[in-house]
Amino acid sequence: MAVETALARAKVNLCLHVTGQRADGYHLLDSLVVFAETGDHVSVSPAADLSLRVIGPQGGGLGAGPDNLCLRAARAFGLPQGATITLDKHLPIASGIGGGSADAAAVLLALSRLWDVALPDAAAVLALGADVPICLAGVPARMRGVGERVDPVSDLPDIWLVLANPGVAVSTPAVFRALVRRDNPGLPKVLPHCATAAELAEFLRAQRNDLESAALTLAPQVGLVTAALSAQPGCLLARMSGSGATCFGLFSTAIQADEASQALRLAHPDWWVRSAKMAS
């Protein structure tokens, strides 16, 4: 039996600027996004009907009903074909690293290969969620608008990331409701060339995640995570990703990142912690 697989990589917002809000309520963003070489695993195989099976260490709290983004992604093709979708869930749910959106994008890619059909059009992809287009691209990129504008960034240096989540689910709509200001400045029109991880971190320190202060009012644990990451030797920058509560530390070597993740797991055994290289 034919089986297609895809890795739903963790999405990391190195910075995230909220630059406005449309009349329909959607927020305008300007964000530099990368992906980590860790994530959920999706597999699809032929079947008479569409179905979803959720397994994995982070799958316990995730329903497999028709509203699951994986099934919505499958229906976005608009085809009368079936498939059995298996989601092996390793990323925390509602954690700011695009788990659901990355899963949807992985399902789109796997089913496109399984069914030998083109991907749904851009409007259908965006309708699944603001992060789905950039997760479908899966490369370092600048994301703008409500998520529809994705411009790949090809000259980032090699970086290693430590991702840490305190086990707290944060509601993205609640974070946006808690925003004090929605018309913040965006990123520079032209992003500078950063030859090293240290240069990238220096640039990022002048940028922001405009959702972090709002998330802190809902989940103060975010501050503990960024402080713990910042305290690790070799950490060049620590910041919250997306709407939280997952935070990342940026490192220039794999050894530094691995040692930091081991130290965090020992100090905080109840946290979810992973180290991974940035996917290129």
Q: What is the per-residue pLDDT across 54-110, written as a single tens digit (0 to 9) for each?
A: 999 999 878 889 999 999 999 999 999 999 999 999 999 989 998 899 999 999 999
Q: Does 221 have pLDDT greater than 80?
A: yes
- Which pLDDT does position 137 carry in this prediction? 97
Residue 213 phi, psi dihedral angles, 5° rounding: -65, -35
Q: Which of 60-64, 145-149, 250-254, 263-267 has the lowest mean pLDDT?
A: 60-64
Name the percent of the chain lying above pLDDT 90.
Answer: 95
Given this chain, do its domains 4-150 and 155-279 carry the same CATH topology?
no
Whether 278 has a pLDDT exceeding 80, the answer reads yes
Could you tell me the residue ranges of all domains in the chain?
Answer: 4-150, 155-279
Looking at the annotation, which residues are catalytic? 11, 131
Residue 248's pLDDT band, with cuts at 50, 70 and 90, is very high
The answer on pLDDT for 1 being more than 70 is no
Mean pLDDT of 187-211: 98
Could you tell me if 31 and 137 are in contact, meaning their C-beta atoms sit under 8 angstroms apart? no
Please report the pLDDT score of residue 169 as a whole number.
87
Quote the pLDDT of residue 61: 79
Verify cis geometry, omega within 30 degrees of 0, for the bond prior to 105.
Answer: no
Nearest residue to 40 (alpha-carbon basis) of 81, 16, 10:
10
Question: Which of the four pLDDT bands, split at 50, 70 and 90, describes residue 263?
Answer: very high
Percentage of the residues of the chain whose pLDDT score is greater than 70: 100
Burial class, 267, CB count within 10 angstroms (exposed 0-12 / middle 13-18 / buried 19+): exposed
Using N-to-C axis directions, what is the helix angle for 221-230 and 254-267, rounded to 10°?
Answer: 130
For domain 155-279, give the CATH superfamily.
GHMP kinase, C-terminal domain (3.30.70.890)
* pLDDT above 90: residue 53: yes
Structure confidence at residue 14 as a pLDDT band (50, 70, 90): very high
Q: Which structure tokens are listed for 4?
A: 């297609």
CATH number of the domain located at residue range(s) 4-150 in this protein: 3.30.230.10
Q: Residue 219 and residue 65: Cα distance in Å, rounded?
A: 28
Give pLDDT, residue 150.
98
